[in-house]
A and B are shown apart, each in its own frame.
Chain A
Amino acid sequence: MKRFLLIAAGTVGGLGAVLSVTPPQLGATDLGLGLDMGTLTTAETPAQTPTVVQNTPATSAPTQSATNPSTNNPTASTQTSAPVPAQTQATTPTANSINGTFTGPVVDVSYGNVQVQITVTNGKITDAQALIAPTGKNDKYTKMSLPTLRQQTLAAQSTSIQGVSGASYTTYGWRKSLQGAMVKAGL
Chain B
Amino acid sequence: MRTQHEIEVWGTVVFIDVTSDIDIEPAITTVKQYVQKVDELFSTYKESSIISQLRRGEIEIEHCPPEVIEVWDLCAFVKELTEGAFDPWAVAGGFDPSGLVKGWAADNCAEILLAAGAEHIQVNAAGDLALRGGFTPEQPWSIGVVNPDNRLEILQTFEISDGAIATSGTFERGAHINDPHTGMIAIGAKSATVIGPIGAIADALATALMVAGRDGAVWFTTPELSEYSAWVIDRHEKVAWSIGPATA
**Chain A interface residues (CB < 8 Å from chain B):** 1-2, 5-6, 9-10, 12-14, 16-17, 19-20, 22, 24-32, 34-35, 37, 41, 43-44, 46, 48-58, 61, 64-65, 68-69, 110, 141, 144-145, 148-149, 152, 160-172, 176
- Whether A41 lies near B77 (C-beta < 8 A) is no
- Whether A24 lies near B221 (C-beta < 8 A) is yes
Take A52-B163, A163-B129 as given contacts and tell me if A145 and B152 are in contact as well, using a CB distance cutoff of 8 Å.
yes
A-B pairs, top 6 by smallest CB distance, nearest first, are: A50-B163, A16-B226, A13-B223, A52-B246, A166-B167, A61-B154
CA distance A164 to B15 in the complex (A): 11
Chain B's closest residue to A150 (CB) is B152
- Whether B142 lies near A148 (C-beta < 8 A) is no
Interface band, chain B: 35 or more
- Whether A26 lies near B241 (C-beta < 8 A) is yes
Chain B residues with Cβ below 8 Å from A41 are 248
What 0/1 pattern do residues 209 to 248 of B give for CB contact below 8 A with A? 0000010011011111111010001000011111101111
A64-B15, A169-B13 known; 6 new pairs, CB 8 Å cut-off, are A9-B224, A31-B239, A49-B161, A165-B127, A165-B129, A165-B166
Take A9-B77, A61-B153, A148-B150 as given contacts and tell me if A14 and B223 are in contact as well, using a CB distance cutoff of 8 Å.
yes
Give min CB distance, A36 to chain B, whole Å: 10
14 CB contacts below 8 A, A to B, read A5-B73, A9-B224, A13-B225, A24-B217, A29-B241, A31-B233, A37-B155, A54-B157, A57-B154, A61-B144, A65-B17, A144-B149, A161-B142, A167-B126
**Chain B interface residues (CB < 8 Å from chain A):** 2, 4, 6, 11-13, 15, 17, 69-70, 73-74, 76-77, 122, 124, 126-129, 131, 134-135, 140-167, 169, 171-173, 191, 193, 195-197, 214, 217-218, 220-227, 229, 233, 238-243, 245-248
Chain B residues with Cβ below 8 Å from A152 are 152
Chain A residues with Cβ below 8 Å from B217 are 24, 26
Give min CB distance, B24 to chain A, whole Å: 15
Residue from B70, B154, B191, B243 within 8 A of A164 (CB atoms) = B154
- Whether B124 lies near A55 (C-beta < 8 A) is no
- Whether B162 lies near A171 (C-beta < 8 A) is no
Chain B's closest residue to A5 (CB) is B77
- Whether B2 lies near A162 (C-beta < 8 A) is no
- Whether B162 lies near A51 (C-beta < 8 A) is yes
- Whether B152 lies near A171 (C-beta < 8 A) is yes
Chain A's closest residue to B229 (CB) is A52
Residue from A28, A35, A160 within 8 A of B142 (CB atoms) = A160
- Whether A24 lies near B13 (C-beta < 8 A) is no
Chain A residues with Cβ below 8 Å from B238 are 30-32
Residue from A12, A31, A168 within 8 A of B172 (CB atoms) = A168
CA distance A44 to B13 in the complex (A): 34
